[in-house]
Structure 1
Amino acid sequence: MSKVITIAGQKGGTGKSVTAVNLATSFALIEKKTLLIDCDPQGCSTKWCGVKKFDYNCDISLVLSGRAKFTDAVVKTEFQYLDIMPAEFNLFQVALKLGKYPGNEKILRLLLKNVEDKYEYIIIDSPSSYSFLSITAMTAADWLLVCMSVHHSSVEDFHCLLRLVKYIRTTHDVPLKIAGLLFNRCETKQDILSFIENQSLSDIKPMVYNTFIPLDESINRSIDLKIPAALHEIKSPAATAYLEFAGEIDVFFNQRGVS
């Protein structure tokens, strides 16, 4: 059964979509069959994963609106073990319609049952907001990976996210758990420790992963090229960190006996 992880960050600039793309790619590189689902109308994960519009004629908006089967919108990537479900701006219009009816937030979770035995990991990129699509992306998962940045995050952001997790658990009866916190664009581990202390977030320290993603210009270059960092420069500091992080998450689940 798939381990479904939604990448969350309540503010832009925390590296959410970059993490979704590069974590999914890293899982593929260590031969973990992975599906990346873009649940953001901006389609950043779709673009940065190297998928071009002419590569597909079906996306997540058609699936959520019931006009296509789930498997029809799954696109192969350059990586043998990585597939993606792309998104475009028309997802915004579909979300407006679906959001009018209570309970539709569980639609993606129900659809994932069709492929839960095909993938070891399913990574969902969610919008940075409290919108229908954000709640849908989180409700679809059993685990939440929280992206943080010492430059863009705050204690208020984290507390708001915790309240949203509580809302999803109680309203939709979903056992959503926080898998941990990943810090992006850091110079050193001390930057993270100083941030935690300054923001009075000492309680989260056990939830912070050992791996952090360093500030690395190769990430910006890979975004400009619209490819994962591993395809641009696999030995770059950021690409290496994402590979280490994929291994750390895999150990996290194995230690908990999550199959």
Structure 2
Amino acid sequence: MAATKRAATRKSADDAPMGPTGRPYHGFPTPPKLDGHGPARIIALCNQKGGVGKTTTTINLAASLANYGRRVLAVDFDPQGALSAGLGVQTHDVPTIYDLLLDPKRDAREVIVRTDTPDLDIIPANIDLSAAEVHLVNEVAREMILARVLRQVASDYDVILIDCQPSLGLLTVNALTASHGVIIPLECEFFALRGVALLIETIEKVRDRLNPTIKLDGLLATMYDSRTLHSREVLDRVVEAFGDDVLETVIGRTVKFPDASVSGMPITEFAPEHPAAQAYLRLARELVARGAVA
């Protein structure tokens, strides 16, 4: 029914092109240059389900925003360290976000690593981070520790993107408590829908109890394949349930993402003309147009 309804809206009165979400396709203007930098708006990329494109989105959105002149800090907050690896950063025997969480006297700027992408820096992570929840559980205001770390460097950047681990544990609550906004990458697959309500409930609890300013910046449909009825139906259901909270930009499924990850490069540099690279550039423009990023 939803698919039929959306198909019926494909043509508007002026025949404006429709995007895959069933809304008019906006190109979104190129963001203007900034007069200065900071303070950063902090955005958590969060979903308790793994394999939905959180890390891929963090890498390529960060690179796309940097491409438009924004100073970006990516925070690897997953013990798997995939964000660090995807940006070509070595994490063996180097200080990481784990050290900053456990040592309140440590300067966060000493841990930041510059990537090969101009204006894109990273705070790396490795498997040590998996022990953080055990160490932090008895700390006073344990949900606020990441916020303390990021306050040290927020004035140096325009946006800070936090790549969360696939869980709703203490680390993810820390990320939500530190953030101004949340982007939920959502795979266009039925089972990916099941946990979204629980995640939004968690965000609302954090808003009520820890961080009253946090807002949902949007749900991002990922791994979309327009050739399959299943992908189209899932996207229809997401739009029907969440309306304008669903971002207009949709990220398609492609083998170019793992190829770029192996090379330690964002897809915007690995294959800049590829439709996936253009989609992430469009996502960056959309977030600026929505006011989620300066």
Question: Is TM (by shorter chain) over 0.5?
Answer: yes
Give the alignment partner of residue 151 of structure 2, picking from 93, 105, 113: 113
Query: Could you tell me how far apart the structure 1 residues matched to 2:53 and 2:108 are?
Result: 27
* CA displacement at 1:92 relative to structure 2: 1.2
Corresponding residue for residue 60 of structure 1: 97
Corresponding residue for residue 36 of structure 1: 74
Q: Is the 8 A contact 1:11 1:152 kept in 2?
A: no
Corresponding residue for residue 228 of structure 1: 266
Corresponding residue for residue 194 of structure 1: 233
Q: Is the 8 A contact 1:14 1:153 kept in 2?
A: no
**Aligned ranges 1:62-77 → 2 under 5 Å:** 62-66=99-103, 68-77=106-115
Counterpart code for 1:104: R
CA distance 1:233–1:51, change in 2 (3 Å): same
> How many residue pairs end up in the alignment?
254
CA distance 1:153–1:119, change in 2 (3 Å): farther
1:8 and 2:46 are equivalent in the alignment:
yes
Corresponding residue for residue 160 of structure 2: 122
Corresponding residue for residue 174 of structure 1: 212
More divergent stretch after superposition (92-101 vs 35-44): 92-101
Give the match's secondary structure for 2:194. Answer: helix
* CA displacement at 1:50 relative to structure 2: 1.2
Query: Could you tell me how far apart the structure 2 residues matched to 1:31 and 1:134 are?
Result: 29
Counterpart code for 1:225: S
Q: Is the 8 A contact 2:96 2:125 kept in 1?
A: yes
Gaps of 5+ in 1: none
Counterpart code for 1:231: E
Q: Is the 8 A contact 1:58 1:68 kept in 2?
A: no
TM-score, length-normalised on structure 1? Answer: 0.91
**Aligned ranges 1:129-148 → 2 under 5 Å:** 129-148=167-186
1:183 and 2:194 are equivalent in the alignment:
no
TM-score, length-normalised on structure 2? Answer: 0.80
For each residue in 1:149-186, what CA deviation from the matched residue of structure 2 results, as whole angstroms up to 9, or x when unmatched? 11265443111011101221122143211000111111
1:97 and 2:152 are equivalent in the alignment:
no
The structure that has the greater radius of gyration is: 2
Give the match's secondary structure for 2:157. Answer: coil
More divergent stretch after superposition (202-211 vs 115-124): 202-211
Corresponding residue for residue 85 of structure 1: 123
How large is the Cα RMSD of the aligned pairs? 2.1
Q: Is the 8 A contact 1:216 1:237 kept in 2?
A: no
CA distance 1:159–1:136, change in 2 (3 Å): same
Give the alignment partner of residue 51 of structure 1, picking from 76, 84, 89: 89
Q: Is the 8 A contact 1:169 1:175 kept in 2?
A: yes
Corresponding residue for residue 281 of structure 2: 243
Query: Could you tell me how far apart the structure 2 residues matched to 1:212 and 1:153 are?
Result: 18
CA distance 1:249–1:21, change in 2 (3 Å): same
Query: Could you tell me how far apart the structure 2 residues matched to 1:69 and 1:112 are?
Result: 10
Q: Is the 8 A contact 2:91 2:125 kept in 1?
A: no
Query: Could you tell me how far apart the structure 2 residues matched to 1:223 and 1:164 are?
Result: 30
CA distance 1:214–1:169, change in 2 (3 Å): same
